[in-house]
Amino acid sequence: MQHHCGLYGISDSHANYYLINGLKKLQHRGYEGCGISYISKTNEIITYKGLGKVDEVFKDYQFEFPINMGISHVRYSTTVKSDPQLSLDKTQPLIGKISNEQFALAHNGNIPDVDKIKNEYGFIIDNHSDTFVLLKLIEHLYTTKYHNLEDTLKYIINIIPGAYCLLVLTKDKIYALRDQFGIRPLVIGKSKKIGYCFASESVALENFDFQRDVIPGEIVMIDNSFNLKTIYQCQQIPTFHFCSFEYIYFMDPHSFSNNQAIEKIRYNLGFVLGTQEKDILDQSFILAIPNSSIAGSTGFAHAIKKKYKKYILKSKTIDRTFILPTNEERKIACDNKFTLHKKHKMTNKNIYIVDDSIVRGNTLKSLVMKIKKTNPQSIHLRIISPPIISPCYYGIDFPSSQELIAYQKTIEEIKKELDVDSLKYLDLDSMTQVFGHSACTSCFTGIYNKKLLDW
Ligand code: SF4
């Protein structure tokens, strides 16, 4: 039950507005549930959460007083349809207790070997998320060993290698932790007046200025007097492992992370793929699949000196399909996800479809069938990342290996399955060169960092 989520935290005199609005900007990181925790006038933590999108859950929500501090969370999970109550229980922030005082915890990522924590500390916890295990670990270490939250968090960031960003809210502080490998994004925003916020993506900073990324292995704190302070920085940080898939697909194109604009990275991936094309057929169209592949398609089209066409329209009501629980639901969603612009004719043209990645291939199969009905001359698929051949254990809910279209298949076999005339992927080296730094590529290689899985 892995999930992929978005975090927001704020200490600012306008926290009422930003706590929910910041979360709306992170909606693409989780549709199934969302929640907020903030400090009441009497220094209690108040939490409100529900299943559904931010607009639905907080439609009629009113703060009864001005607030200064809070954290919020959007969650992505496959469990919602099968058991809504269980899903609501897992919707964050989760509330714990240390020394008779409450704290709230929100988590983005996935702890791959959560059983190790359960076994080592004797936790009997069934049917709960890895976030709940982290919550219990904080309570346990605080009570039995450290009697101090900062020392407890320092211990955690040293012993658990990944994959997480955490926000911890107490009655007068917010702590932000990013794991030593830096797998998931977390940024700090600074108000033009006073105040700070944390967000999974810079697109959620709104009127706050981007200050910097939280450094891998760093614990940062903002307090209720609007001060920001680094509490701790792990020594000997391992090789940076930022998730390639965040760059390629997950992050909002208007975000930037690790000092790079996401849109520009996708453009460059497409451009490099375009430079590898030897002969582009005459009478060809470059089609972008909205929204995540528009920048990549633009880069690809520029490299081959063409313009991309906005012939594919995306449904505003259908979200990311690879996460849906059943194949049947995924197929229906894929069939309805894209339509073709009726005005534009593709008959007898050579169509190049540029996409960011292929997971199961359902969306592309459905799209290729629709394009074929317009009688094109040929259809060519170009992917701005390498084939995904292995699952993710670090927080993105990819299917099992067997469900991945590229698992144990040659490019020729994938091409046949997708029913296209040619298929090319960007190679791994070219992709990481575009990133300009080391990154996690495990789902493309099937090679997992041992320090992250066995610790
Ligand atoms: S395995 Fe893939 S999806 Fe998971 S963190 Fe690594 S690059 Fe990202």
Write the pLDDT tens digit of every residue in 33-47: 999 999 998 999 999
Q: Which residue has the tokens 């060809």?
A: 284
Which two tokens mark 168?
A: 């911890």
Q: Which of 249, 388, 396 to mutate to test the pocket of ligand 1 (most atoms within 8 A of CB)?
A: 396
Q: How many CB atoms lie within 10 A of CB 375?
A: 11
> Helices marked H in 122-148 — which ranges?
130-141
Distance between Cα 74 and ligand 1 center (Å): 19
> Helices marked H in 249-391 — which ranges?
262-275, 294-303, 327-337, 362-372
Which is it for strands 69-75 and 33-39: parallel, antiparallel or unpaired?
A: antiparallel
Are 296 and 269 a contacting pair, CB within 8 Å? Answer: yes
Distance between Cα 440 and ligand 1 center (Å): 6
| Virtual torsion, Cα 359, 361, 366, 368, nearest 10 deg | 120
| Cα Dmax for the chain | 73
Distance between Cα 60 and ligand 1 center (Å): 37
Supply the pLDDT for residue 326: 63
Which amino acids bring their CB within 6 angstroms of ligand 1? 183, 243-245, 392, 394, 396, 440-443
Query: Which residue minimizes the CA distance to atom 4 of ligand 1?
Result: 392
Supply the pLDDT for residue 318: 61
Q: Which of 390, 440, 449, 453 to mutate to test the pocket of ligand 1 (most atoms within 8 A of CB)?
A: 440
Amino acid at 403: E
Nearest ligand 1 atom to alpha carbon 442: 1
DSSP annotation of 180 reads: T
Cis omega (within 30 of 0) on the bond before 291? Answer: yes
Distance between Cα 76 and ligand 1 center (Å): 16
Query: Which residue minimizes the CA distance to atom 6 of ligand 1?
Result: 440
Query: Which residue minimizes the CA distance to atom 8 of ligand 1?
Result: 243
pLDDT digits (tens, 9 = 90+) for 281-309: 888 889 988 878 899 999 999 999 988 88
Are 367 and 328 a contacting pair, CB within 8 Å? Answer: no
Distance between Cα 216 and ligand 1 center (Å): 16
User: Strand, helix or coil at 442?
Assistant: helix
Question: What is the full DSSP assignment across 387-402?
Answer: ---S--SSS-----GG
Supply the pLDDT for residue 2: 44
- Can you list the residues of the chain whose pLDDT is less than 70? 1-3, 77-82, 127, 316-331, 333-334, 343, 455
Nearest ligand 1 atom to alpha carbon 439: 7
Is residue 5 annotated as part of the catalytic site, yes or no? yes
Nearest ligand 1 atom to alpha carbon 243: 8
- Cα 382 to Cα 274: distance, rounded to the nearest angstrom: 9
Distance between Cα 242 and ligand 1 center (Å): 8
Which residues, in sequence order, are bridge partners of residue 176? 167, 220
Q: Which of 108, 244, 247, 401 to mutate to test the pocket of ligand 1 (most atoms within 8 A of CB)?
A: 244
Distance between Cα 449 and ligand 1 center (Å): 11
Nearest ligand 1 atom to alpha carbon 391: 1
Q: What are the Cα distances from residue 96, in Å, to 35, 100, 300, 418?
A: 15, 10, 49, 48
Supply the pLDDT for residue 1: 35
Which is it for strands 218-223 and 228-233: parallel, antiparallel or unpaired?
A: antiparallel
Q: Which residue has the tokens 């080391």?
A: 438
Supply the pLDDT for residue 327: 65
